[in-house]
């Protein structure tokens, strides 16, 4: 797959994900995605006739840029992203013009410093601005949503994008994850997101075991969940998602992601559906013990 270097990517524009309070809120938008979002027009192809795409994915809870050294430094987050050169980035704990982070629009700044297109999704108003998540993308964004999830100790949503390969025109859905706080609250959030993805991402991304064949179904984009699940392996939330057809991508080496300076728990994951559409070339925890309290996770996938 041909990929432009970071230095030659087009300057990004900030997109605010469309908030959705219920499944019905996604329907009723007129016109095709290209007309609504201004995505580059690429002729549609039958997915199974397309050559494979290589996709580099990074997930990182950045703790609003505040490191374990108590220094607020967004540039070291940007430098890590540039060094890994991902196609898609799922970021958690992102501020937008918030007092504690000096009024910076962090998604827009990271987009500018990495030459990736940012999409911000608000959890809640906070200190004069907004607190939430962001996705950065090197692939053209066809459509985006900010899926509202059941509240926990704080309001929650999942910023979600459908992106299109600049090489093949294949589309992929990525949902940014930051479930919180109790197991009951996280389970409700996971189940709601799964339902919302079925409504917005189409049958292949929303298929469950027993619905029929998955490997040969290329009628809708394959989907990725990426981020901070605040849940450990083999717990109720992760097992429930697995029962809904989401496949946890095993990590190479130590899987522990929290805390980054002394990791003892694995709570950050990539999940795929249907997993037969993906081949995992690499998935590992990045050793960065200072920039945030979480370690980033990075994967290289082949998508078919």
pLDDT at 28 over 60: no
Report, as an integer, the average pLDDT of 103-112: 98
Residue 57 has pLDDT above 70, yes or no: yes
pLDDT of residue 205 exceeding 60, the answer is no
Q: Are 241 and 227 in contact (CB under 8 A)?
A: no
More confident residue, 150 or 1: 150
- What is the 8-class DSSP label of residue 261? T
Would you say residue 165 has pLDDT above 80?
Answer: yes
- Give the pLDDT mean for 141-168: 97
Is residue 134 within 8 Å of residue 91, measured between CB atoms?
yes
Give the integer Cα–Cα distance in Å for 292 and 28: 40
Place of tokens 């066809």: 142
Helix (H, G, I), strand (E, B) or coil at 7: helix
CB 150 within 8 A of CB 192: yes
Q: What is the pLDDT of residue 209?
A: 42
- CB atoms inside a 10 Å sphere around CB 72: 15
**Domains (ranges, CATH) in the chain?**
53-303 (3.60.10.10)
Q: What is the pLDDT of residue 49?
A: 77
- The pLDDT of residue 16 is 67
pTM, two decimals, is: 0.83
Question: How much is the mean pLDDT over the chain?
Answer: 86
Cα 267 from Cα 102, distance rounded (Å) = 29
């Amino acid at each position: 797959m041909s990929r432009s270097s970071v230095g030659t990517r087009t300057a990004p524009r900030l997109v605010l994900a469309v908030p959705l309070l219920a499944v019905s809120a996604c329907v009723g938008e007129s016109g095709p995605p290209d007309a609504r979002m201004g995505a580059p027009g690429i002729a549609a192809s039958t997915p199974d006739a397309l050559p494979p795409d290589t996709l580099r994915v990074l997930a990182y809870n950045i703790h609003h840029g505040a490191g374990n050294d108590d220094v607020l430094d967004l540039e070291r987050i940007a430098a890590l992203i540039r060094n890994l050169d991902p196609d898609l980035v799922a970021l958690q704990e992102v501020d937008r013009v918030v007092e504690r982070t000096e009024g910076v629009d962090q998604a827009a700044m990271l987009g500018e410093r990495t030459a990736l297109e940012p999409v911000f999704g608000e959890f809640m108003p906070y200190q004069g601005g907004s607190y939430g998540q962001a996705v950065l993308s090197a692939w053209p964004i066809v459509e985006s949503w900010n899926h509202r999830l059941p509240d926990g100790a704080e309001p929650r949503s999942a910023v979600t994008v459908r992106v299109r390969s600049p090489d093949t025109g294949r589309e992929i859905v990525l949902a940014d994850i930051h479930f919180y706080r109790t197991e009951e609250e996280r389970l409700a959030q996971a189940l709601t997101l799964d339902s919302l993805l079925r409504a917005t991402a189409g049958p292949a991304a929303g298929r469950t075991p027993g619905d029929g064949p998955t490997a040969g179904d290329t009628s809708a984009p394959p989907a990725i969940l990426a981020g901070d699940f605040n849940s450990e392996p083999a717990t109720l939330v992760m097992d429930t998602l697995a029962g809904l057809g989401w496949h946890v991508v095993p990590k190479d080496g130590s899987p522990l992601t929290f805390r980054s300076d002394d990791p003892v728990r694995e709570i950050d994951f990539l999940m795929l559906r249907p997993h037969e559409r993906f081949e995992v070339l690499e998935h590992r925890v990045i050793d960065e013990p200072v920039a945030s309290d979480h370690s980033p996770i990075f994967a290289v996938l082949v998508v078919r």
